Structure 1
């Protein structure tokens, strides 16, 4: 599989990818580096022909409380009640090849192994349908509407329940 764990040496390239992919949602290098530092087991890069073309940032978090965009986390919550998918991003040349589905299943396996019963995310940029194909469903969390607007007008909170048996 072309996905591998992200290293600190990848961060400059990941920042370059993020800047190219997420024009409407820029994130500072410090935010990306902190995610990789405090939960390296949830940070991946996608390589094709020795070039990075995508990344995934994920970590344990509190269900129904997605972190604000471009903000540091500080520390992992204890207890964490969801495995949060902060971002799965691919350059156009990486799309349509099954890489995003691979990432989704890789992340689900990791979340199950870490003992989580669910994964959550905020779907943006018309990605809701993609995440639904991976088993996520839209969920309403009281009081979250204003925060979701900061992610964009099409942003929705989504959750995927995880079967501990891997099914």
Structure 2
């Protein structure tokens, strides 16, 4: 996809038929952060309204976002199943926002962060949280997130990578 045609990219809710493409994209984008297919299936089953795909004008997919309500400072370990969404969540967790190389720089990532902030607010949540990997802290800081150091998260962060850090964005 040429950079000039990235304006034709739109975020929409993920559908069951998109899962094979999402899993294939994850294998290309996240070579160092493998997750079983069951992780993607479970996230969509538990909180489908937090799962999105980035679609081009021809129906081809160029990225995805997987998010859900969760408990602040209890981030799930990499490649782990949730079991259920907490009854009284305290944050909107961004599990994964991933873009294929052809869609990077298109503005799609800031657009989905805005969509997700609106979703979090609609759920009555006061924060969004995530684990930053691949030297992406600068991008997340531009989206209003701040690095938060919590010793109780160190082991889970190590399940991602040595440079992983926990970040939070206040919505209120």
Q: Which TM-score applies when normalising by structure 2?
A: 0.92
Quote the Cα distance in structure 2 between the aligned partners of 1:147 and 1:88: 19
- Contact map agreement 2:78 2:156 (CA 8 A) in 1: no
Alignment-derived partner of residue 130 in structure 2: 121
Give the CA deviation at 1:153: 1.2
List runs of 5+ in structure 1 lacking aligned partners.
none
List runs of 5+ in structure 2 lacking aligned partners.
1-8
Quote the Cα distance in structure 2 between the aligned partners of 1:86 and 1:15: 14
- Contact map agreement 2:91 2:125 (CA 8 A) in 1: yes
Quote the Cα distance in structure 1 between the aligned partners of 2:131 and 2:162: 12
Higher helix content, 1 or 2 = 2
Q: What secondary structure, in the 3-state scheme, does the structure 1 residue paired with 2:33 have?
A: coil
Runs of 4+ in 1 over 3 A off after TM superposition: none
Q: Does the alignment pair 1:81 with 2:107?
A: no
Quote the Cα distance in structure 1 between the aligned partners of 2:95 and 2:151: 20
Alignment-derived partner of residue 143 in structure 1: 152
Quote the Cα distance in structure 1 between the aligned partners of 2:37 and 2:15: 14
Give the CA deviation at 1:110: 0.6
Q: Which TM-score applies when normalising by structure 1?
A: 0.95
Q: Does the alignment pair 1:47 with 2:60?
A: no
Alignment-derived partner of residue 96 in structure 1: 105
Q: What secondary structure, in the 3-state scheme, does the structure 2 residue paired with 1:121 have?
A: strand
Q: What secondary structure, in the 3-state scheme, does the structure 2 residue paired with 1:105 have?
A: helix
CA RMSD of aligned residues (A): 0.9
